[in-house]
Amino acid sequence: MELIKGKEIAENILMEIKEKISFKAVKPEFAVILVGDNEASRIYVELKEKASKRVGINFRKILFSKDVSEDKVIKKIKELNTDKKVSGIIVQLPLPNNLNKENIINTISVEKDVDGFHQKNQHLFLENKDFIYPVFPKAIVRMIEDTFEKKKEEEKLKAVIVCKSSDFGIIMKKALEKIGLNAEFIFCEDLQKKRKNDNYTRLILGRADIVVSACGIPKLLKENMVKNKAIIIDGGITKKDGKVFGDVDITSFSKTNCKISPVPGGVGPVTVATLLENVYLVSEK
């Protein structure tokens, strides 16, 4: 087994951004809205702030209490939309239950939606028009491409996405097709129900050269479910008893020739780096 080192990939992306920004007279500015007191969200925002400062992006953090009204958050987003200093905007998820995520995300200007979550940006992405690349799929694709450079396969490879929703499955499928892969997606729930059926797992996962998982189910994927030389990108994350787990039962792969992104230290750092890459790219427009 070989680990795909997300931290190294992220570092390369950040250094490229830093060099490009160093030549700019006006630095990009990144605005992040954080609602409530979710500890994990606070940590994620701090990581984004630290990385922004490293590469020369100005960082603006807007804090709201968990009982803030939806109208107040939307009003702030509209202010940021018209602020010429601000290049990119995100709202850190998850949001408190009293707030409508879709309403809030879709208030962000399409041109400043650096997470790529806006409904219109997702449609543009699927239609191959001018788009902001959704960050999480972008990070996964970057990791796969980095691994491809070492493998140098010539044939069109097969990819399978294991996910919770068709919304993510459709976007991720399109992202993989953009780099020349044959891709399909299946749902975590279906895999859980049927994974004891060897014929099913062999048919779906056993023929995949690349497996992308984003379920948040610890040890969902085991060695006997995939082919020996598969590339596995683990985008799942679960926190339990102070520890962080991915979807892959990584110990079961120890004697295989698979290449696997670990959790933590895999997709996470690359997601932050590609987010800041989006901030830089929109600032250029």
Q: Give pLDDT tens digits along the chain (285 positions).
A: 999 999 999 999 999 999 999 999 999 999 999 999 998 899 999 999 999 999 999 999 999 999 999 999 999 999 999 999 999 999 999 999 999 999 999 999 999 999 999 999 999 999 998 889 999 999 999 999 999 754 455 568 999 999 999 999 999 999 999 999 999 999 998 888 766 566 777 788 989 999 999 999 999 999 989 999 999 999 999 988 888 899 999 999 999 999 999 999 999 999 999 999 999 999 998
- For the 25-111 domain, the top CATH level (class) is alpha beta
Collect all residues with Cβ–Cβ distance below 8 Å to 101 and sequence separation of at least 6: 93, 94, 95
Identify whether the C-beta of residue 274 lies closer than 8 Å to the C-beta of residue 28: no
Element (H, E) at 40: helix 39-55
**For strand 243-245 and strand 259-260, is the pairing parallel, antiparallel, or unpaired?**
unpaired
User: In terms of DSSP bridges, do strands 243-245 and 238-240 run parallel, antiparallel, or are they unpaired?
Assistant: antiparallel
CA–CA distances in Å: residue 221 to residues 19, 200, 230, 248, 270? 39, 14, 12, 5, 22
How many CB atoms sit inside 10 A of residue 202's CB? Answer: 14
Please provide the size of the chain in residues: 285
Q: Which residues of the chain does CATH 3.40.50.10860 include?
A: 25-111
The tokens for 80 are 């940021």
The segment(s) of the chain belonging to CATH 3.40.50.720 are 135-267
Domain 135-267: homologous superfamily in CATH: NAD(P)-binding Rossmann-like Domain (3.40.50.720)
The string over 145-166, giving b where at least 16 C-beta atoms fall within 10 Å of a residue's C-beta and e elsewhere, is: ebbbeeeeeeeebbbbbbbeee
